[in-house]
Amino acid sequence: MQTLKKSPLLLNIVFIIQLVLVVFVAGGILPRWLILILAGLVSVYVLIDSLDNALVFFVRSIPLFVAIPFTSYFDSFNIWRFAAGLIFLKWFFTKDISQLIRQQLGHLIKRPIQYFLSHQITTAVAIFFFMSLLSLLTATDLFAGIKRIIYLVNLSLVGVVIFDLARSSDNLAPRLIKNLVIPGVIVVALGFIQLAMTYWFDIFAFIEIWQFIQESWYGSFWARIVVEGNTWFAYFGPQLSLRMFSIFPDSHTFPMFVLLTIPSILALALTRVVKGATTLRELVRGRASLWILFLPVFYLAIILSGTRGIWLAVFAPLISLPFIRKKIRDIPTKKILSYISLFSIAFFILFLIANPILTSNQFLLDKGNNDLLRQRIRSIIDFGETSNSDRLEIWSASVKSIYSRPLLGVGIGNFPVVLDQDIDQAKAGSSAHNLYLNIAAEIGLVGLFVALAFLWSLLLRGIRAFEKTRRPFLKIYLGSVLFYLIWIFAYLLTDAALFDERAFLIFSVHAALIFSLYEKIKRPEPQLESVSRQEKQQSPERNS
């Protein structure tokens, strides 16, 4: 298919149309049926523009992809599913992947052991999906399991395309990294608008407004589930405070998404500091760009989500720091990693600003209690607290289920069986509240092992690429994304929110970028440090 040149003009036009249309529909200004036209526009756009521009558009639009109202009974199918599928198909036929697959199958048949050792990531992903398919043999609801597998495959398609294109391009990875700031700014801005609304509306009006917005984003069926089981508020007896969730279904996915956009901010803000510094002291005294002003705002939004697991998980990358440094031989790279970690100090300081916000009078009610944040922090270690005790019971049930069904679990997409719940509860967020227990309970210990192997390989390849990359922008990005991925992985000990579509999509983008940058460092050094003539001629603003 003939595509347009790589000009960002059409990309920006379609993105602005999408942004305005989604906001106006969510605000009740325009009818929801216009989303059907938007879905058609997005589909046509990703087909006619270049693959690079289509990927940039997709990354920008992750939080803006909304459900398509096909009928009143079928209105939860999201635009991202079409966009991801079309991007993948366009790449598949453009690159003649069918021939490549035949070649790889030939290598696999001739030298299977060597092939598996040379393609560890591909092997891990293949085994994971193979175990997922096998787990259907034990599934109570076969259809729920099949839907979950299709869902995970659909989520992974864009990551495959990014990996293939970014490893052979000097310009695509920086473009995608820069554009990841845009969805972060959008969701954080909407989060603070949401916070402002708590001072204008009572609790009933607030819920009614956000139920309408959630219906515009996710469809009527999902909106009912979200509202009935929401985690939008922190309750302190008769008092309550907003747990910022922006346009996400809950206050657990929101901070994960925000954390995964921070590496892009740091890459934009700190590149010029790294260019002229060789010691930690020089790095600390260096002057970052104005992009750094977004960091405290994003941190504050994460704190205001009230997600205690995220608060606690910040210690994971700090504790891991000495172990990562041991794997890095290059002294300047170690200094950069230490420099990046210092910015987490701002996270702790911002609790001082978050406290008066959380204790202020929201929803037109007088709280009369200035100790709410301290109570919530203290509740992290209170095993009698309702949320904590429920988690302990769920974890216990999950471990018992894994012990009784260690090989194939209860079947992918069938976790509610572990808790003796109806399978439909999976749609309402029934999970192990621990990603790793959830995987083991659904598809068995082999599936958990390959999932952990994938995450471990992601970190190891990230460390290797971080050490060897010479381009300051990519070096800051890789160091930052390692820090925040470890933060996320620790948080997933208390939640399985990575399976939310928006969290998984942005995670897959980072994973694809890490793997592609790792592949690039295995080339000869001149190719590693070379910068294309196009990149030299174009400014950062034009590339973004």
Residues 6+ apart with CB under 8 A from 241: 233, 234, 306, 358, 359, 362, 367, 372
- Listed residues 55, 73, 99: the one ending a domain: 99
At 474, list the tokens: 């990519």
496 phi, psi to nearest 5 deg: -115, 30
Residues 6+ apart with CB under 8 A from 111: none
The reply to whether 278 falls in a domain is: yes
Q: Is it the case that residue 533 has pLDDT exceeding 50?
A: no
Q: Is it the case that residue 106 has pLDDT exceeding 70?
A: no
The reply to whether 77 falls in a domain is: yes
- Listed residues 44, 74, 99: the one ending a domain: 99
Q: Is it the case that residue 237 has pLDDT exceeding 60?
A: no
CB 218 within 8 A of CB 67: yes
The reply to whether 452 falls in a domain is: yes
Q: Is it the case that residue 253 has pLDDT exceeding 70?
A: yes
Mean pLDDT of 66-83: 90
pLDDT tens for each residue of 139-171: 999 999 999 999 999 999 999 999 999 998 999
pTM of the model: 0.90
Whole-number pLDDT of residue 104: 63
**Residues recorded for the chain:** 544
Q: Are 94 and 114 within one domain?
A: no
Pick the residue with more confidence: 243 or 375?
243
Mean pLDDT of 457-478: 94
The reply to whether 276 falls in a domain is: yes
Whole-number pLDDT of residue 424: 65
Q: Are 44 and 145 within one domain?
A: no
Q: Is 377 helix (H, G, I), strand (E, B) or coil?
A: helix
The reply to whether 1 falls in a domain is: no
Q: Is it the case that residue 425 has pLDDT exceeding 90?
A: no
Whole-number pLDDT of residue 105: 66
The reply to whether 530 falls in a domain is: no
Q: Is it the case that residue 543 has pLDDT exceeding 50?
A: no
Whole-number pLDDT of residue 532: 39
| E-strand stretches of 328-476 | none
Q: Are 353 and 297 within one domain?
A: yes
Mean pLDDT of 491-504: 93
Residues 6+ apart with CB under 8 A from 523: none
The reply to whether 138 falls in a domain is: yes
Per-residue pLDDT band for 386 (boundaries 50, 70, 90) equals low
Whole-number pLDDT of residue 171: 93
Domain count, the chain: 2
Q: Are 95 and 116 within one domain?
A: no
Per-residue pLDDT band for 540 (boundaries 50, 70, 90) equals very low
Q: Are 308 and 392 within one domain?
A: yes
Q: Is it the case that residue 459 has pLDDT exceeding 90?
A: yes
Mean pLDDT of 479-497: 95
Per-residue pLDDT band for 344 (boundaries 50, 70, 90) equals very high
Whole-number pLDDT of residue 525: 42
The reply to whether 327 falls in a domain is: yes
pLDDT tens for each residue of 294-331: 999 999 999 999 898 999 999 999 999 999 999 998 88
Q: Are 281 and 348 within one domain?
A: yes
Mean pLDDT of 405-434: 83
pLDDT tens for each residue of 442-455: 999 999 999 999 99
- Listed residues 45, 66, 99: the one ending a domain: 99
Q: Are 497 and 443 within one domain?
A: yes
Whole-number pLDDT of residue 343: 95
Whole-number pLDDT of residue 14: 97
CB 11 within 8 A of CB 56: yes
Q: Are 52 and 167 within one domain?
A: no
Residues 6+ apart with CB under 8 A from 260: 180, 484, 488, 503, 506, 507, 510
Whole-number pLDDT of residue 331: 87
Structural domain span for residue 287 = 110-199+231-521
Task: Quickly tell me which residue has 């070379």 as its tokens.
Answer: 530
Distance from C-alpha of 350 to C-alpha of 299, rounded to nearest angstrom: 7
pLDDT tens for each residue of 164-223: 999 989 999 999 999 999 999 999 999 999 999 999 999 999 999 999 999 989 988 777
Q: Are 89 and 118 within one domain?
A: no
Per-residue pLDDT band for 537 (boundaries 50, 70, 90) equals very low
CB 109 within 8 A of CB 386: no
Q: Are 88 and 128 within one domain?
A: no
Beta bridge partners of 239: 236
Q: Are 60 and 181 within one domain?
A: no
Q: Are 61 and 133 within one domain?
A: no
In angstroms, the Cα distances linking 231 to 64, 133, 173, 194, 430 are: 21, 32, 35, 14, 13
In angstroms, the Cα distances linking 107 to 12, 111, 113, 142, 212 are: 43, 6, 10, 34, 54
Q: Is it the case that residue 419 has pLDDT exceeding 50?
A: yes
